[in-house]
Homo-oligomer: A and B are copies of this chain.
Amino acid sequence: MNYRDSSLTCAAPGPSSVRRAAKGTIIYRQNDPAAFRFEVVSGVVRTSYLFMDGRRQLTGFFFAGEAFGVEQGLYRTSAEVVSDGAEFRRFSWGDKDEDERALNQALELVENSILLLGRRTALSRMAAFLLDVRARTGEGGCIHLPMSQADMADFLGLTVETVSRSFSQLVRQRLITRLETHLVRFLDLGRLGALAGTEFEEA
Q: Which residues of A contact B (CB under 8 A)?
A: 49, 51-53, 55, 57, 59, 70-72, 76-77, 96, 99-100, 103-104, 106-108, 110-111, 113-115, 117-118, 120, 157, 197-199
Report Cα–Cα, A113/B57, bound state, in Å.
12
When distances are taken between beta carbons in the complex, the residues of chain B under 8 Å from A111 are 59, 76-77, 110
- Closest B-chain residue to A110, C-beta based? B110
Report whether A104 and B72 are in contact in the complex, using a CB–CB cutoff of 8 Å. yes
User: 18 A-B pairs, CB-CB below 8 angstroms?
Assistant: A49-B115, A49-B118, A52-B199, A57-B114, A59-B114, A71-B104, A71-B108, A76-B108, A76-B111, A99-B100, A100-B100, A100-B103, A106-B107, A110-B110, A113-B114, A114-B114, A117-B117, A117-B118
Q: How many copies does the complex hold?
A: 2
Q: How far is the CB of A142 from chain B (nearest CB, A)?
A: 25
Residue of B at shortest CB range from A53? B197
- Please name all residues of chain B whose beta carbon is closer than 8 Å to the beta carbon of A106 when the two chains form the complex: 107
Contacts of A108 in B (CB 8 A): 71, 76
Q: Which residues of B contact A157 (CB under 8 A)?
A: 117-118, 120
**Contact status of A199 and B51, CB under 8 A, knowing A110-B110, A113-B114, A157-B117:** yes
The reply to whether B103 and A107 contact each other, CB–CB distance below 8 Å, is: yes
Bound CA span A76–B111, Å: 9
Closest Cβ neighbor of A58 among chain B residues: B118
- Contact across chains for A110 and B114 when beta carbons are under 8 A apart: yes
Are A51 and B198 in contact (CB-based, < 8 A)?
yes
Q: Give the nearest-CB partner of A59 in chain B.
A: B114
Find chain B residues with CB under 8 A from A71 CB.
Answer: 104, 107-108
Nearest 4 interchain pairs by C-beta: A57-B118, A103-B103, A52-B198, A117-B117
Contact B51 A197 (CB under 8 A): yes
